[in-house]
Structure 1
Amino acid sequence: MALSKSQLVVRVATKYLVIYPFLGLVGLIDFLVGLILPYKYEDPQLPDKDAVLSQRVDQTDPNSGFRSTMFPDLIRVEDKSASVFDELTNCVQQYHDTQTLGVRELLSIDDEVQPNGKVFKKYSLGDYQYMSLRDVYARIVHFSNGLLNIGLKSGEKIVLFAETRPEWLMSAFSCFRIQVPVVTLYSTLGVDALAYGINQTEAAFIFTSGDQLSKLEKILHKVPTVAHIVVFSDKFHQKQVDVFKEKFSSRVTVHTMEDLVQMGEKNGEKEFTKAQKDDLAIIMYTSGSTGNPKGVMISHGNILTAAKGLITRLGTINHNKDKYIAYLPLAHVLELVCEIVCLTNGVPLAYSSPQTIADNSTAIKKGRKGDLRVLKPTIMASVPVVLERLSKTVNEKLAQTSWFKQMLFKLAYRQKLQYFRQGRSTRLLDRILFKRISSAVLGGKCRLMLCGGALLSKEVHEFVQVCLCPVLQAYGLTETAAAATTQLPNQTNTEEVGSVVPSCEIKLVDWPEGGYRNTDSPNPRGEIYIGGDSVTLGYYNMPDKTAEDYSYSKDGLRYFATGDIGEMLPNGSLKIIDRKKDLVKLQTGEYVSLNKVESVVKLLPFVDNCCVIANGFKSYCICLICPNTKNLKEQIVEFRKEGGQNLDAELNRAEDVLDYVKKNADVMKKLTQDLFEHSKGQGLDRFEIPSKILFVKESWAPDSGLVTDSLKLKRKEIEKFYKNEIDSLYK
């Protein structure tokens, strides 16, 4: 809506006579304070933020690996008898009274009918309840003894199939103690993938939660090796456990974790084999973006090495103030290593879930606080899709405020971003504005957030850094036990994934087909090979694939070929610039990086997710868009208002919005043009920008089979599912 002349005058006067002078005064005070007090992200345990943090072992050899300059040698675990459980034993001796594994008390569960007719479970939650590290340790020991008492033996595998919760981590440590490999499967896996993982590992024991019993019920006839099911339960799920136990009593033996803890405490332990450094600790099934998931074999030594490398990147740990919030899937290697680091270093951790983490989460009653605002964590891990949604939510709420607040935020954001890039303190500006945003979203205490799993766009990274907390981009894979590179808490650069962690070595290997060489100027480029003791044992029952992706150097260091293309910057930070698998050569000869284009398109407010399709026999690419229908509606309504139409009352449902776009070619043309202008402004070349787009009605959730459990695209499945639509767009 166009502003009147008087409104325009008021806003211009406010901008130049009120907001600019105010921010100038705040900036001056912050500058003077910065002369007296150190920058708030400085840390005596960290190197200078401008230091060169990775360099070649042999500066004269372009094929030489890059290592961290923070340590003279690679971090390695020399003790062959060491295990993950030993690390916990050592920690308990020092931090036995630490309160950890916190969970909010569940008071009640109620059904709430939404305006669209859907029924959501709403939780009434109390405060966080904790256990001492001493009690956690005792429970782990008793549970492992209980497992031995019912017939589990060292060397046998168990499947852990449950959502992130304390029982998951305690169960894993119980198995680490008695040398029982843990097979991890995402709780959001479909039944076919679940059965595949169980059958491939021939597990007789499954550890699960009451919420997952319905999935197990569907596949019990497909998994003949399963004889015991151990359930994590509570008073709200006990009925489900009892019904399941009665229904399948002739097929499997059902135990609760609490029963086995009590059994182990009463009967003591039976004979078991102590785990060693080289023993298999975990078979972690990747989320499977191409076909069936692969089981990555991770040893105790891999985990210990990765954990020792990660702890060096977190700065000074304050055991009295630091708290870690756990909510990502524990079947995701980044979350698992983070939680192991916390538990074995005396850092308190507490649990959450996507359904309860924020005030607007689906299971939180209106007007009640989500877990972040109750816990006020100082450390957390995240993935780009979560931060993208977070930034969109903040921007949407700001759009509902007055023009004055929007103008103040926009100008204050610009000022802080400039100071932030210069490494200058903004204490007063934070206290006046940004601390309030951080408190409303994250609880206000978060000092660092580790982000991995995929690349984080510059815009989202900067937004979260400015408005919420420092974000450390991390790079690693399941095959390297999450370890490779991370940023440090005092680094603010975007579009970098940080320097090499002290437990790894990284080589850049020539890829001539893509035009990348480790002798490139000004910076070396090539396929990223990650080496070190965190590089895992290989793929379970897949020797050919293991031989293809894993190798050894002349000096005996184990390497994994990632398929990612990296560039080593002068400051020793790695930048991911391409992906061999995602690079498609168009008919005209240009290469299109699908991930690169998708990261740009996803910044549009009407895009929740997208998949770019490029055909080597065509001269252009197309894009399938899973829309944010609320924002899409607003864009359509605003577009039609210019023509004198008001569609606000007509487009009530998501289906109405998508049908309207489909039936109105001029609207589709306008949205396609908006995407083009946005992509061009983000620096994409014309051949990279999708020429045609399609809005899909399906929600791309893990249970759709179109994305993985970590929300990565399953390209083959998407192309198969939308084959007719794709063919139509290319006609």
Structure 2
Amino acid sequence: MIESSTPPLADLDGYRNVTDLLVARVHTAPDHVAFEVEGADAASSGSWHPVTTAVFADSVRALAKGFIAQGIEAGDAIAIMAPTRYEWAVADLAAWYAGAVVVPIYDTSSPSQVDAIVADAEVRLGIGGTWRHASLLQAALAQTPGVTLGAWTMDAGDSPDTGAAASGSLLDLVTRGADVSDEELEARRASASQDDPATIVYTSGTTGEPKGVVLTHRNFLGQVLNIAAAYREIVNEDGNTVIFLPLAHVLARGLQLICLASGMRIAHLSDPSTVVATLDTLRPTFLVVVPRVLEKIQAAAASKAADKGLTRVWTAARSTAVAWGRRAERIDAGRRVRRDLGLRLRHRLFEALFFGRLRTVMGGRVGYILSGGAALDPELSLFFRGIGVPVIEGYGLTETTAPLTGNLPGRITSGTVGSPLPGLTVRISDDGEVLARGIGVFGGYRNPAHDEDAFIDGFFRTGDLGRLDEQGKLILDGRLKDVIVTSNGKTIVPTRWESAVEADPLVSHAVMVGEGKPYLSALLVLDPEQTREWATAEGIIIPLSVQPDIRAVTDPTLRAHLQKAVDAANALVARSEQVRRFSVVFADLEDRTLVTPTMKLKRSVVLDRAAVTVEDLYL
């Protein structure tokens, strides 16, 4: 099969732009709780308070009036640079109510990155999460030609000494908008049509310079309404979720709109490390994560079992969960399964020992988890299915307004990223590249020069390699630009091997190398937190110091441990795809010149900094 399509489930007629989603929700359920906000007032820091749809809409309208009073015109660009928080949602919708175009900037971006985005998008006003973010935006605005309208912070209070002074807080903007009439605001809210730009999102640039992706109101409306229809079993008024992925990323932002339009309660967390501790309080029914989060949950369970001398018992429990998950998938697919009393009894035992406790760690109410952003190990997917929390794997890009494909409840196939979502088409080119067309696919980059090789026959070229199974579900095989051709002419796609090694908790990233070389080698980039915990348990000291170059970590005990992961990965691939030599390395994973804000490794930067280490693998 070379092409798969899914017809749309939603009609966009009756919607002019994204703001109509909030207008419709206010009309339907003004008193429904839309958000839970932490520390909503000074006397209640640390607790969570409900915010109804009507109250949220009032905040959006008040801030939108502030934007208009400050001088924002229809079509102007407003940049938002902040960690994930409730005020991000208010600012996003308020900018659209004012007729503006939103330009999200990751809160971890460097000053040079902020300067480049503000200049390229011709930003007129900036919103920072903190005074530091606002100061960075203010400095960038000061370098742009034309009249700009200042940078404003989500944090009220006095400004610390952070360089270029911010203009004030969002509360100040709200005050300025007091004289803007409801009629003027409504006219501005309705000024954008479906085909007008809603946002310009700059890609994180793993393989080249960042590009400004222009997404329209039609792109967002099509995705929100169709995905909400397809996943109504999960996203509905009875559910709630926690968003801790960056709202600067289109996936988290699209999820927020879907939840808002569907009545699903949202809580925001700016620090992902606090998620597990908060789940018991918020008790979400649905979570969106990257695979690394699932790997860490499983690794933590294994570590606790080891501390209690139950490693062999845990290994049996994990195998049982995978078998149970595989059985459930076969039942979903309508295939016959034999009765297995032994499996049923083992599952019941391990449910009492491990599985129920794992679900409690996740809050006790999670019905589904959506995994995206990177490849998910099929066995990990089966494991979570086996403990009673099915994982829906999906796939998409900024250019497709987040999800392009996805598994559906009751139709999950581990190892695939599902079928095209409603209103979308996936085609596989002759050289195996995944091509996309449909309601969520953007029309082009801000810089037309970036469009030259981006489209073919009306389809967007994703740059990913993949294939469609007999049900039309997409199986990803890696990145087109990551393909390695060895000196003996063998063409290697490294993704399967790399993903297998990354299943080891100590390995944050695996990077296969070997372009033009006689055999394949690899760099295994350590996860600092997991490595320190492992080293402490082993009674050894692993030096993890940041250096300009990426150099090998030579501890023999660590290397012997990771040799097992390499051997297991080699067993999964053909002989020509096996890695012969590897180096264990440490790198600063907080360095945004090395790792993108979505935790993807910039392969070319890694290979440049590790050039000496790579050469040593071929001596």
- TM class by shorter chain equals 0.7 to 0.9
Query: Given the alignment, which residue of 97, 100, 105 partners 2:39?
Result: 105
The match for 2:391 is 471
Gap change, CA 1:613 and 1:317, over 3 Å in 2: closer
The match for 1:261 is 174
In the TM superposition, residue 445 of structure 1 has moved relative to its aligned partner by 0.6
Task: Among all aligned residue pairs of Structure 1 and Structure 2, give the percentage whose two residues are the same amino acid.
Answer: 24
Q: Are the counterparts in 2 of residues 84 and 300 from structure 1 also a CA contact under 8 Å?
A: yes
Gap change, CA 1:536 and 1:108, over 3 Å in 2: same
Amino acid at match of 1:390: I
The match for 1:143 is 63
Deviations 1:638-697 (A, max 9, x none): 9xxxxxxxx72x5276469xx998556x6577456424421133x122332322222223
The match for 1:96 is 30
Q: Are the counterparts in 1 of residues 235 and 259 from structure 2 also a CA contact under 8 Å?
A: no
In the TM superposition, residue 581 of structure 1 has moved relative to its aligned partner by 1.4
Gap change, CA 1:107 and 1:460, over 3 Å in 2: farther
In the TM superposition, residue 552 of structure 1 has moved relative to its aligned partner by 5.2
Hey, what's the Cα distance between the residues in 1 that align with 2:91 and 2:381? 35
Q: Are the counterparts in 2 of residues 193 and 292 from structure 1 also a CA contact under 8 Å?
A: no
In the TM superposition, residue 318 of structure 1 has moved relative to its aligned partner by 7.3
Gap change, CA 1:415 and 1:283, over 3 Å in 2: closer
Hey, what's the Cα distance between the residues in 1 that align with 2:553 and 2:67? 58
Q: Secondary structure at the match of 1:205?
A: strand
Hey, what's the Cα distance between the residues in 2 that align with 1:257 and 1:429? 54
The match for 1:26 is none
In the TM superposition, residue 242 of structure 1 has moved relative to its aligned partner by 5.3
- Segments of structure 2 that go 5 or more residues without pairing to the other structure are 333-342
The match for 2:569 is 679
Hey, what's the Cα distance between the residues in 1 that align with 2:327 and 2:219? 40
1:484 aligns with 2:392: no
Moved over 6 A (4+): 106-109, 424-427, 633-638
Query: Given the alignment, which residue of 288, 294, 297 partners 1:387?
Result: 294
Q: Secondary structure at the match of 1:387?
A: helix
Query: Given the alignment, which residue of 107, 113, 133 partners 1:212?
Result: 133
Gap change, CA 1:107 and 1:282, over 3 Å in 2: closer
In the TM superposition, residue 448 of structure 1 has moved relative to its aligned partner by 1.2
1:729 aligns with 2:603: no
Hey, what's the Cα distance between the residues in 1 that align with 2:289 and 2:578? 29
The alignment's C-alpha RMSD in Å is 3.2
Spell out the pairing of 1:431-470 with structure 2 (5 A cutoff): 432-433=352-353, 436-467=356-387, 469-470=389-390
1:533 aligns with 2:533: no
Q: Are the counterparts in 2 of residues 612 and 621 from structure 1 also a CA contact under 8 Å?
A: yes
Hey, what's the Cα distance between the residues in 2 that align with 1:163 and 1:446? 24
Hey, what's the Cα distance between the residues in 2 that align with 1:385 and 1:410? 18
Query: Given the alignment, which residue of 590, 594, 602 partners 2:490?
Result: 590
Query: Given the alignment, which residue of 217, 231, 234 partners 2:153?
Result: 231
Query: Given the alignment, which residue of 575, 595, 606 partners 2:506?
Result: 606
Q: Secondary structure at the match of 1:534?
A: coil
1:545 aligns with 2:450: yes
1:311 aligns with 2:228: yes
1:133 aligns with 2:53: yes
Amino acid at match of 2:521: I
In the TM superposition, residue 316 of structure 1 has moved relative to its aligned partner by 2.4
In the TM superposition, residue 461 of structure 1 has moved relative to its aligned partner by 1.8
Gap change, CA 1:125 and 1:468, over 3 Å in 2: farther
1:625 aligns with 2:524: yes
Hey, what's the Cα distance between the residues in 2 that align with 1:637 and 1:655? 17
Spell out the pairing of 1:330-341 with structure 2 (5 A cutoff): 330-341=247-258
**Rg larger for:** 1
Deviations 1:184-221 (A, max 9, x none): 11112222222111111121211111163465577566
Query: Given the alignment, which residue of 184, 189, 199 partners 1:282?
Result: 199
Q: Secondary structure at the match of 2:579?
A: coil
Query: Given the alignment, which residue of 462, 469, 476 partners 1:569?
Result: 469
Gap change, CA 1:730 and 1:104, over 3 Å in 2: same
Gap change, CA 1:628 and 1:345, over 3 Å in 2: closer
Hey, what's the Cα distance between the residues in 2 that align with 1:387 and 1:152? 43
Hey, what's the Cα distance between the residues in 2 that align with 1:467 and 1:378? 15
In the TM superposition, residue 306 of structure 1 has moved relative to its aligned partner by 1.0
Deviations 1:208-264 (A, max 9, x none): 111634655775665566541121015xxx34x3545xx645xxx612112222333
Tell me which moved more, 692-701 or 336-345: 692-701
Q: Secondary structure at the match of 1:126?
A: coil
Hey, what's the Cα distance between the residues in 2 that align with 1:428 and 1:663? 44
Q: Are the counterparts in 1 of residues 197 and 214 from structure 2 also a CA contact under 8 Å?
A: yes
Q: Are the counterparts in 2 of residues 483 and 504 from structure 1 also a CA contact under 8 Å?
A: no
Tell me which moved more, 621-630 or 498-507: 621-630
Amino acid at match of 2:410: N
Q: Are the counterparts in 2 of residues 509 and 529 from structure 1 also a CA contact under 8 Å?
A: yes
Hey, what's the Cα distance between the residues in 1 that align with 2:280 and 2:603? 37
Q: Are the counterparts in 2 of residues 278 and 300 from structure 1 also a CA contact under 8 Å?
A: yes
Amino acid at match of 2:582: I
In the TM superposition, residue 422 of structure 1 has moved relative to its aligned partner by 4.0
Query: Given the alignment, which residue of 21, 34, 59 partners 1:87?
Result: 21
Hey, what's the Cα distance between the residues in 2 that align with 1:540 and 1:372? 39
Hey, what's the Cα distance between the residues in 2 that align with 1:382 and 1:630? 19
Q: Are the counterparts in 1 of residues 464 and 476 from structure 2 also a CA contact under 8 Å?
A: yes
Q: What TM-score do you get using the length of structure 1 for normalisation? A: 0.75
In the TM superposition, residue 398 of structure 1 has moved relative to its aligned partner by 2.2
Tell me which moved more, 173-182 or 82-91: 173-182
Hey, what's the Cα distance between the residues in 2 that align with 1:255 and 1:655? 40
Q: Are the counterparts in 2 of residues 438 and 469 from structure 1 also a CA contact under 8 Å?
A: no
In the TM superposition, residue 84 of structure 1 has moved relative to its aligned partner by 0.3
Deviations 1:364-385 (A, max 9, x none): xxxxxx2212101011211122
Hey, what's the Cα distance between the residues in 2 that align with 1:547 and 1:133? 43
Amino acid at match of 2:173: L
Gap change, CA 1:415 and 1:290, over 3 Å in 2: closer
Q: Are the counterparts in 1 of residues 321 and 384 from structure 2 also a CA contact under 8 Å?
A: no
The match for 1:23 is none
Spell out the pairing of 1:708-727 with structure 2 (5 A cutoff): 708-727=596-615
Q: Are the counterparts in 2 of residues 506 and 528 from structure 1 also a CA contact under 8 Å?
A: yes
Query: Given the alignment, which residue of 277, 280, 298 partners 1:373?
Result: 280
Q: What TM-score do you get using the length of structure 2 for normalisation? A: 0.87
